[in-house]
Chains A and B, each alone.
Chain A
């Protein structure tokens, strides 16, 4: 599908979503409550068939914490980007998509480890690289006098 049809398809799933044309790919900003159902629809509907989650990145936007999902379809070869945010910095929670795309298992553990976002319904949410004596290093307000050298 080309970009126009893609926008139509996403609107047909849920017309309240904010869709933008980024420099490369179509970007959909979705509130965290609707993320899981949208992801499942994108995976399973015939026009979509987004079966390859090729990048799951956690981002600290300053005020909010968010996750960016890059999805591709191996059949139709189109790409869509899902973005979601949560403004709760103390106990951030998002839905896990690990049962839709198996690769999300490790990626979400990494996001939990480095940014602190907990994913509900994740099969095994533990820290991946670090242990509990570290905070969440990838956050913008992370302070570590010993290990980080600031000029």
Chain B
């Protein structure tokens, strides 16, 4: 029966089959129609959800593996050395080797720790990341949920990651972990504000919170060019606040190895540590992809106003390549300044947010509102 479904969906494509690369909704609609032809609507929904869930799980795992490897290579090149180059050609299987090692490690139970919360914490961070990825468009028509309050949903859901961090620190029953978790909690909650305000700036420019509409409206130019001054300021603030959200870069004192030996995830071992580690990289991917979607145009190719010929050439590159290119560019920038700067102390970090970033953000929102009202954007 599966072969029938496959044959039906391929034959129901209206255009030559490779057009789905440029407009993914062609493929999804085809699968949807062929499923509806053979099952009741309830089971169609369930099947689609299962398929999407599996696809996202695979995607999550592959992106995680790739990012860990990329980080190690980028870090090595900055530090004038080579990085992993033994396992597989150019060391590409290094992460898989690390994963296998972590799977075999002993899960050390902690005395006097709250076992339920201790086990729950890694899963919370991962689930939160899943929920955030679900709303981001990877290509034309390639997104799981298309809320009309997309940005609001993303901000709300990504705020829940702080719960996982605090649970991890508290339930470990260790002074070091608790200090790390408290610091991290304060940091994440503070920088939520800056992230939110920077995103609101773009919502003002776009006029809608729905992510697919935002990407569509960047068809004649990305927002970072359209909303010149204000959008550039918002982009810079978003990058700073975004790295602080993910406990990365100069803001990583929650897991500062040279001070508190790994902070809130000190007591985790084996596969649970792997979850935290993976969750950090996927979190970075999520922040970078939101930046790419809102400021750099998401999957929209680089169009310049009325240059028809140029635009058609740019259109030739599939949207998914554009999307991943932009996201990895932002990730590369984040990795560069993680490995260059020393880290900030907790009070300097919070001073940066509350005394500098927040006022600049508020003023920026006003400027953007002014730009939109007066029509001074491109």
A and B touch in the complex (CB under 8 A): no
Residues on A facing B (Cβ under 8 Å) = none
